[in-house]
Amino acid sequence: MTVVITGMGLFSPVGRGVEATFDALTGGKSGLTRPPEGHPARDSLEAAGVLPPIDPRTVATGPETKVLDRIVVLALLTAADALADAGIEVGRDVDPTRIGVIVGGVGGMSTLESQVIARAARGRAAVSPYLLTGILPNMASARIAISHGIRGYSSAVGTACASGAQSVADAARLIRAGEADVVLCGASEAPLFPTFADTFGNARALARGWADPTEASRPFDRRRNGFVLAEGAALLVLERAEHAAARGARTYAELAGYGTTTDAYHPTAPRPDGAGAADCMRRALAGGGVAPGDVGYVNAHGTGTKLGDIAETTALAAVFGTGGVPVSSTKALTGHLLGASGVVEAAACALALRAGRLPPTYHLDDPDPDCPADHVRGEPRATGTEFALTNSFGFGGQNVSLLLRRTTGTDSRAAGPGR
């Protein structure tokens, strides 16, 4: 069964919306900065991908807005964008029981932190009765379902930085199993608060020492020294191709295959030989009936950590050969949105296939000799490839690869989003 992407909702440090996102990724517009004065993570982060403040009352009403976590606010905004982009109104364009929603992420940890602080300062009376609905990981999916009348499958995925890509893979499984015609899937993350930032900082995982924060995220570069933490949300509308055609929908790309594996190696470090990641990519290719030589682009997980970039490069070489496929990491501009990164990057692949232009890895001035690859860098590269692959890897050894195929003819989204 063919599964296609018919809508996107993207809100990352480089912008909101489909065209703004791709223009930034191909034009070198960085979304990274020092958190501004008054930001809760100002003293914890030298560089970050920061979104503007958003009043929760723009997406919800009532007393719960006081503890409505930012992940839910972002998820609601991007869900509305994605459904509008797909031209879908639940009940009109899809049976409410035949549409699902899967949103990944770590949950409302900033709300939990603020409530723990309040209780420590003022006692038990300071704890909000709405705390649980502020922190539960499934609340983003639940709130979206409530807002749009979605009565089919609803779930949350918590596979660390692979959560968003895993949500997309799970959505494809639902559709291929005949359990849904449409699934809204992706992730929402808001990690820019002191405790979360400090745990990464104390683990020496964050980029540091860069006078210009826009240059701090440097995947595959010899001088890289960690990733840049970022917030954002990204949701895709996956749809059974026949259902999309029946309603006259246009598509961004086909989700041709996916792979999911586990390293079974270490809670945080990747397997040095990249075996789990390589197997994951091979499964995605097999699922799409595609040979390695058919793939013309890989959007890498590429966070800018020493071990992670080397392990991924090793895995890529095992599958495609050294320098066998053009590779780039858009995290150089967006930073690392944790679980939401994989969905932004899947969108980047779909848009690259549509436009025939591969986004480069910016700030890759001096490629690490331990990361030999056909790096796309400096400027976008023209391509006529039909297939692109994107990787997402998470703590616990979680590996997800998504294979996208270019769609043509009446399915090309030449008119752009927001019809």
Tens of pLDDT, residue by residue over 289-348, are 999 999 999 999 999 999 999 999 999 999 999 999 999 999 999 999 999 999 999 999
Q: Which of 148, 243, 280, 301 is catalytic?
A: 301
Mean pLDDT of 150-163: 97
| Number of C-beta neighbours around residue 47 at 10 A | 26
Q: What is the pLDDT of residues 54-71, one digit of tens each?
A: 999 999 888 888 888 999
276 lies in a domain? yes
| Contact by Cβ (8 Å): 2, 254 | yes
- Six-digit token string for 139: 């609340």
Which domain CATH number covers 50?
A: 3.40.47.10
340 lies in a domain? yes
What percent of the chain is predicted at pLDDT more than 70?
Answer: 97
Q: What is the pLDDT of residue 66?
A: 80
Is 328 strand, coil or helix? strand
- Looking at the DSSP bridge assignments, the partners of residue 189 are 232
Is 170 strand, coil or helix? helix
298 lies in a domain? yes
178 φψ region: left (φ > 0), alpha (ψ -120 to 50), beta (else): left
Asked whether residue 409 carries a pLDDT value surpassing 90, the answer given is no
209 lies in a domain? yes
The rounded Cα 21 to chain-centroid distance in angstroms is 13
- For residue 139, give the DSSP letter: H
Sign of CA dihedral 63, 69, 72, 73: positive
Q: What is the pLDDT of residues 62-121, one digit of tens each?
A: 888 888 899 999 999 999 999 999 999 999 999 999 999 999 998 888 999 999 999 999
Mean pLDDT of 193-221: 96
Asked whether residue 175 carries a pLDDT value surpassing 80, the answer given is yes
Distance spanning both ends of the chain, measured CA to CA = 27
The rounded Cα 53 to chain-centroid distance in angstroms is 20
Identify the helix (H) or strand (E) that includes residue 384: none
Residue 412 pLDDT class (50, 70, 90 cuts): very low
Domains in the chain: how many in total? 1
> 11-15, 161-165, 267-271: lowest mean pLDDT where?
267-271
Dihedral through CA 28, CA 22, CA 401, CA 382, nearest 10? -80
Q: What is the pLDDT of residues 337-375, one digit of tens each?
A: 999 999 999 999 999 999 999 999 999 999 999 999 999
Q: Could you list the residue range(s) of the whole structural domain that residue 204 is in? A: 3-408
Residue 417 pLDDT class (50, 70, 90 cuts): very low
416 lies in a domain? no
Q: What is the pLDDT of residue 69?
A: 93
Q: Residue for token digits 């296609």?
A: 4
Dihedral through CA 128, CA 133, CA 135, CA 141, nearest 10? -160
63 lies in a domain? yes
Asked whether residue 418 carries a pLDDT value surpassing 70, the answer given is no
Which of 312, 325, 335, 307 lies closest to 400, judged by CA?
312
| Contact by Cβ (8 Å): 380, 26 | yes
- Six-digit token string for 108: 């409302």
Q: What is the pLDDT of residue 199?
A: 95
Give pTM, 2 decimals: 0.95
185 noted as active-site residue: no
Q: What is the pLDDT of residue 93?
A: 98
418 lies in a domain? no
Q: What is the pLDDT of residue 398?
A: 97
Asked whether residue 410 carries a pLDDT value surpassing 60, the answer given is no
Q: What is the pLDDT of residue 107?
A: 87
Q: Which of 243, 336, 363, 375 is catalytic?
A: 336
What percent of the chain is predicted at pLDDT more than 90?
Answer: 92
Average pLDDT, the chain: 95
301 noted as active-site residue: yes
- For residue 216, give the DSSP letter: S
Backbone angles phi, psi at 232, to 5 degrees: 155, 180
Q: What is the pLDDT of residues 233-270, one digit of tens each?
A: 999 999 999 999 999 999 999 999 999 999 999 999 99
- Six-digit token string for 219: 């995947």
266 noted as active-site residue: no
149 lies in a domain? yes
What is the C-alpha separation between 109 and 115, in angstroms, rounded?
Answer: 10
Sign of CA dihedral 343, 348, 353, 358: negative
Dihedral through CA 401, CA 406, CA 410, CA 411, nearest 10? 10
Sign of CA dihedral 306, 308, 311, 312: negative
Which of 62, 206, 224, 240 lies closest to 143, judged by CA?
62
